[in-house]
Amino acid sequence: MLNKFGPSGHGEAQVQYLDGDFRVISPGTFVRCAITDTRIPLDELKYWSVDLQEAYATPDAVLQRHFPGALKQP
């Protein structure tokens, strides 16, 4: 998890996504959603894919990545 007392960057972090946790490789304050390109502050990061090594801003973004047609209205 992010070390609050270590050096921190002010830009985009490089993160390794693990099962149930993530490791900051390069300091920063946020990562970008792979679907929406939204900035996600590291302290609010909840959704990611270990296999694809990418972050998601919302549960809907996760669905869009893994089930592309799931959110379309009939």
For 35-57, write each residue's pLDDT tens digit: 999 999 999 999 999 999 999 99
Which residues 6+ apart lie within 8 Å of 59 measured at CB? 47
Residue 30 inside a domain? The answer is yes
Residue 73 inside a domain? The answer is no
What is residue 10's predicted lDDT score, i.e. its pLDDT?
A: 81
Tokens of 33: 């959603």
pTM: 0.80
Number of domains present in the structure of the chain: 1
Residue 23 inside a domain? The answer is yes
What number of CA atoms fall less than 13 Å from residue 26's CA on the CB side?
6
Residue 5 inside a domain? The answer is no
From 27, 38, 34, select the one nearest 48 (Cα to Cα).
34
Using the 8-state DSSP alphabet, how is residue 48 labeled?
E
C-alpha 68, offset from chain centre: 18
Residue 44 inside a domain? The answer is yes
Range of the domain at 51: 14-66
Per-residue pLDDT band at 68 (split at 50, 70, 90): confident
pLDDT tens per residue, range 17-31: 999 999 999 999 999
